[in-house]
Amino acid sequence: MNFNTIIIRFGFDPDSFINEDRDPIRTEKGFIYEVRQRTDTRKCPYCSSTDCIVQDHDTVEINCSETDQIKDVLRIIKTRFLCKGCRRTFTPAIEGISHHYKTSVQTLSMIYNDFFKMMTFTQIGHRYGYSTARIIQIFDEKIRFVPRGRMPEVLCIDEIHFEEDIDQKYCCCLYDFRERKLVDIIRNRQRAYLDDYFQEVPESERKGVRYFVSDMYDGYRSACKKFFPRALHIVDLFHVVALLTTAINSVRNGVCRKLSKNSSEYRFMKNHWRLFLCRRERIPDKWYTPKKSGASIHYSDMVHRCILQDQTLLEGYNILQDLFHYDYTSTFTESLAFIDHISERLSLSGSETLESVGRSYDKWRIEIADGIAKNQSEEHFSNSVAESVNNHLKTIIKTAYGYHNFERFRKRSILICRYEKL
């Protein structure tokens, strides 16, 4: 490989160096290439004088690694000049390396590209032969600001667990339903943080939000009314169902505790609890054979036998099935009547757990009805995109063994989720 090819490969200008015939030095994972900086360019950067003399030489090694398999180094013999005019010393700048850096611009560019990938800072460091702390330092220096996305027509909002700190347990994530992208991450879901954030969003952007999709958190309702008064607030059906399934599962646990541990109902309810929280038609076409009787019973019949053990469990299960099989092409008035009906049934169930769900449904009846009713565009909006991106964010946190700096987490997450390079 000739001199020019080597220099250009590392992203440097060949005119900055003397073309000398030097053999590379082999190392364990690559080569060390020695070059000498040119001395014919002697213009002082302070006074622009060209009357300069060579004072001394210094050697610096520039990391030019391309992968974790190739560890190449460019060893530059640099020349320091003394200006006779202002008596100051200087070293001419070399195109392809930033001042005070010992990494080529090309290698730095490759590191920047890896910030867009699902890689931890430690993995990036191993790839280019740097410590994790150094990669984090490069990230903080070069990625100073990552802008948020524009407020979309359908804004989904949800929270994600960040860390155990009291004031930082949950951060709030904003999503674009149509583009299925992360818009931004707010430090905390508490009302004060939401108010401070949305106040900074221009009113023209906020007016463009037509649908505001969230779960049943009072802070989101307050933010919607205050900053998005023209938007239709929709409670995501997933959270509506999840609230009821959690309550039914609690009731099922209570029924299990009352049954004999040797009974077939107890064993079935304990081992197949998911069948009591799913659609009736999704129960597997299988047969259950109790050890005592040895008589095979179909799974659906076994579920029915178990829920008959308790009237509250039976009522909760039937309400859940009604919610699953509701006609989501109904009008808003019909949907509101349906929500009122199941809220009343839950309130009369005789179980404090189910009654609490009924009160929540009644409190959010308008927003829930907006979510399950057919709108003018005949679309149903949900936080499914939020749940999907949330899993992506959880993976980012998990692979990094947690983040303690929120701003660093926010910037890295947006780079990966919204600007990820294919």
5 vs 27: which has the higher pLDDT = 27
Residue 9 lies in a domain: yes
Residue 215 lies in a domain: yes
Residue 147 lies in a domain: no
Residue 284 lies in a domain: yes
Residue 108 lies in a domain: yes
Distance CA 155, CA 232 (A): 10
370 vs 70: which has the higher pLDDT = 370
Cβ contacts of 144-147, under 8 Å, gap ≥ 24: 145/411, 146/410, 146/411, 146/414, 146/415
Residues 192 and 307 grouped into a single domain = no
Query: What tokens were used for 412?
Result: 């890295």
What's the number of domains the chain is made of? 3
Residues of the chain above pLDDT 90, percent: 38
**Could you give the 3-state DSSP secondary structure of residue 184?**
strand
138, 173, 207 - which closes a domain: 138
Q: Which of 11-15, 32-36, 166-170, 325-329 has the lowest mean pLDDT?
A: 166-170
Query: What is the mean predicted confidence (pLDDT) over 150-164?
Result: 85
Torsion sign over Cα 42, 44, 49, 53 = negative
**Model pLDDT for residues 216-234, shown as the tens digit of each residue:** 999 999 999 999 999 999 9
Task: Identify the pLDDT of residue 377.
Answer: 59
Residues 228 and 284 grouped into a single domain = no
**Model pLDDT for residues 177-205, shown as the tens digit of each residue:** 888 889 999 988 889 999 999 999 999 99
Residue 222 lies in a domain: yes
Residue 328 has pLDDT above 70, yes or no: yes
Q: What is the pTM of this model?
A: 0.75
Query: What is the mean predicted confidence (pLDDT) over 144-167?
Result: 83
List the one residue out of 138, 78, 132 whose CA is nearest residue 105.
138
Residues 253 and 229 grouped into a single domain = no
Query: Per-residue confidence at 102, pLDDT binned at 50, 70, 90?
Result: low
Residues 274 and 340 grouped into a single domain = yes
Query: Per-residue confidence at 6, pLDDT binned at 50, 70, 90?
Result: low
Residues 270 and 257 grouped into a single domain = yes
Residues 23 and 62 grouped into a single domain = yes
CATH number at residue 402: 3.30.420.10
Q: Quote the domain boundaries for residue 61.
A: 3-138
Residues of the chain above pLDDT 70, percent: 89
**Model pLDDT for residues 304-325, shown as the tens digit of each residue:** 999 999 999 999 999 999 999 8
Residue 113 lies in a domain: yes
Task: Identify the pLDDT of residue 378.
Answer: 66
In 10 A of CB 125, how many CB atoms? Answer: 20
Residues 356 and 390 grouped into a single domain = no
Residue 143 lies in a domain: no
81 touches 53 (CB < 8 A): yes
Q: Which of 115-119, 201-205, 284-288, 388-392 has the lowest mean pLDDT?
A: 388-392
Task: Identify the pLDDT of residue 421.
Answer: 44
Task: Identify the pLDDT of residue 358.
Answer: 95
Q: CB-based contacts of 415: which residues, under 8 Å, 6+ apart? A: 115, 116, 143, 146
Residues 37 and 131 grouped into a single domain = yes
**Model pLDDT for residues 237-274, shown as the tens digit of each residue:** 888 999 999 999 999 999 999 998 888 889 999 999 99
77 touches 16 (CB < 8 A): no
Query: What is the mean predicted confidence (pLDDT) over 351-357?
Result: 94
